Every structure is written in structure tokens, then in C-alpha cells.
Amino acid sequence: MRQSKEAAAESRRRIVTHAARLFRERGIEGASVVDLMRAAGMTHGGFYKHFASKDELVAEALESAFADIAARFDAAAASSTPRDAAEAYVARYLQIGHIEQPGIGCPVAALGGDVGRAGPSAQSAFEKGVCSLTARLAQGFFSDSADGEKKALALLSTLAGTVMTARSVANPGRREAILAAGNETVRAQLARA
Amino acid sequence: MRQSKEAAAESRRRIVTHAARLFRERGIEGASVVDLMRAAGMTHGGFYKHFASKDELVAEALESAFADIAARFDAAAASSTPRDAAEAYVARYLQIGHIEQPGIGCPVAALGGDVGRAGPSAQSAFEKGVCSLTARLAQGFFSDSADGEKKALALLSTLAGTVMTARSVANPGRREAILAAGNETVRAQLARA
DNA sequence: TGTACATCAGTGAACGCGCGTTCACTGATGTAC
DNA sequence: TGTACATCAGTGAACGCGCGTTCACTGATGTAC
């Protein structure tokens, strides 16, 4: 049965949102079209009414994941300062909750490895997202530095590496040790600003 | 046709070695049993004469990848000093060649994300490998520090995060920027030692 | 040392299954008169 | 404003394909006498 334009657009948005979460939870190849459509409350046949291929959705879901982060970042910056927003972002990044909930966490930590082996459309969307994130970190922490973007890239690499490594081990104590160790590195990176 | 014990053992070793490379190049799910056996110069049917399942090979291939690194590390330490071996390891880690050749590079950077979603046998093997690597980094850089293991965990997280992030973007200039930025973080981490 | 036989590494066809994608169909929505 | 018809979002069966795994078979290796 045909849906109204509004309902169809809402369906599309729902697919992208759930894909952004499931890809981060299960990996790009670990979340199938059937899974994604079921999560969005539909059957798989309708998928190609909205997207030309799974690849197209992957790119859009990555954009959506980074856009969510940027929006929350900007909202926090607007209600306090860019610096406070960046501080809060980093503080949340290195908490155990982020390790345990990849679906609503950083796409770099969750999917950086996958995207390194993915197609050009996914890599392109990902690269834009990395830039949008580092731009905000640079503005928050290194706005008076000539190479603020570079420092922000280093900060993001440290953050993502810490969370990815913590997730790769099962032992809770070692996870905490990796998070604590990463936190010290990050503090030093910020102190140099 | 039956193979001699030595030939069979050699076949097994060949499968593990090629798996250790292909998993790092294509991801754990991206390298199929057919691919792995073909790379080892055999047909897929013989796989289960050597391994109970693909999972079993995954764990063994991860062990092998980390064992290779440990062996090269120890050889370098023996012919110079643990410190020089660790310095050389880090210097190689952050070169563009490492980005371009994941198959012979660090398993943490290549497969950390995959292992975070993998089964317990893979995670267990991976965790042992991470410990063997951080133990060597700690001995090389932080042998006089009480929390040398922690500092080494932070160092490994930074290294792996830098290489993973660099691989996730396609633009060569940005790759170099990420590597250069990561190098500065690492230098600061080592200077604090 | 030579012979007869059991073992088993490796082959290649076959298995069920889930994947991404296609397609005929349904029926409410949107449009033209 | 009411009616007839085209559109198209969503359904569910079906497609070919590659996956991990199984199995009957082959024939050289290893073993027992």
C-alpha cells in the first residue's frame, strides 16, 4: 500500500537512523539489509524504493552518525562555550559507557577499520565526518594555535585508538586500564595547547 | 593422497601464515576459507583436516601475527638494546608503508575493530597478543617506571588509533597529516618517560 | 628387509543458509478533469 | 467538489551467489608382522 510523502520520508529517515546504529554495533558487513529493514519496522523488499544499493545507505548512515555528533556538539557549544563542549565530548568519550555502547558512540572508533577496507563512497563520507569532528575539537581546544587542525587529528586518533583497543579486550580490568591510560595521554595533549 | 607428517605440518603452518596476512588485509569476515586455502596452495576441502572451524584458525592466526611481531622485536633487542628495538618499532609503525601494507602490520590497527565484535576465542588470543606487545614496549621505553605497562598501553592505543584513522581516509595529504600528528603525540608520550 | 594393511592429508562435489538484489503485486495517495 | 485514473511505498516470494561445513573418495605414508 502506498504511503504519503511524509510517511515515506519518515520511513527513509528511520532506516538511516537505525542503520547508523546497527553498523556501529555490528560492523558494516555484520548488519544485513534484512536486519536494517526489520529494525526500521519494515520488510526488506521496500529497501530499494529508498536506496539504489546497500553501499548508498552505508554512506548516508555514516553521514548521519557524524551529523548527529556535530549537532549535539554545536548544541552544547551554544548553551555554554566551544571549549566546554569539547571538554564534555572528550570526558564522555573515555568513559566505560562508550565502550559498551558502540551503537551511539564515535564512528571512528567503531568503524574506522571497516571503512579502511570499504568502497570510495563510504570512505568519502567518513573523511568528511572526520573533518567536521576535528574542526570542532580544534575550535574548542586549539583555536589559538596555528596547527590546531593537526592537534585535533592527533587527539581524535588517540581517542579512537583508546576506545577501539579497550573494546578489543574482554577483561574488564584491562579495559579500565586502557581507558585510564588513554585519558592521561589526552590530558597531556590538551595541556600542550 | 596422504602427505607425510612433515608435509602436513608444513601445510598447516602455511595456512596459518597466509591467514594472518589475509585477515589483516581484508578483515576477519572478508577472508573466506576458500580464499585462505587457495592462498596456501590447496583446495578448501582439506581445511577441516587441520582446524575444527574457521574460528579456531582465526584465534591461531591472531596468535601467529602477534608472535611474529614479538619474535622480530626480540631479535632486534638482542642485536642492540630493548630501547633501540622499541624505538625502531615505533618509527616503522608511523610510516606510510605501514598504512599501505596492513597484511604485514600491526593486528591491533588492522583488526581491533573486528575483534571487538568477534567471539571469545579471538578476543582471548588478541588480548594475549596485546599484552605481549605492551610488555615489550614497556621494557623498551618505561623500564624504570612503576606504571610502565599502563604507559605502554597508552602508547599502543595511540599508535593503533593513528594508523587506523589514517587508513580510513583516502586523501594522501590527510593520511600524512594524521601520521605526522600521531608522531608528535607519541614523541610527547616518550618524552614523559 | 619385504609385504599386507590401516591411516589420513588432500580433493572436489555437495549441503543448507543468509546475503544483496529483483520483481509482480497491493492498495492508499496524489492528480487531472 | 466529485470521480476516474496514474503513481508508487511497501510486501513477500524468488533470483543467483558465496559462505562455512560435510563427505565419499584417492593414494601415498606409516605400521605390524
Which residue does chain B place closest to A167, by CA atoms? Answer: B116
pTM for the model stands at 0.96
- B117: nearest CB among A26, A116, A158: A26
A134 interface with B at CB cutoff 8 Å = no
pLDDT digits (tens, 9 = 90+) for A100-146: 999 999 999 999 999 999 999 999 999 999 999 999 999 999 999 99
**CB proximity list for A148: less than 8 A, separation 6 or greater:** A138, A139, A141, A142
What whole-number distance in Å separates Cα of residue A125 and Cα of residue A120? 9
Per-residue confidence (pLDDT) for residue B151, from 0 to 100: 97
pLDDT digits (tens, 9 = 90+) for A160-173: 999 999 999 999 99
Q: State chain A's mean pLDDT as an integer.
A: 97
Q: Which residues touch strand C (CB under 7 A)?
A: A 1-6, 29, 32-35, 44-45, 47-48, 53-55; B 1-3, 7-8, 11-12, 37, 42-46, 49-50
Q: Which three cell numbers stand for residue B16?
A: 596459518
Which residue does chain B place closest to A151, by CA atoms? Answer: B181
Q: How many CB atoms lie within 10 A of CB A180?
A: 16
Residue A37 has pLDDT above 90, yes or no: yes
pLDDT digits (tens, 9 = 90+) for B89-100: 999 999 999 999
CA distances from A173 to A8, A64, A97, A169, B132 (A): 47, 33, 14, 10, 17
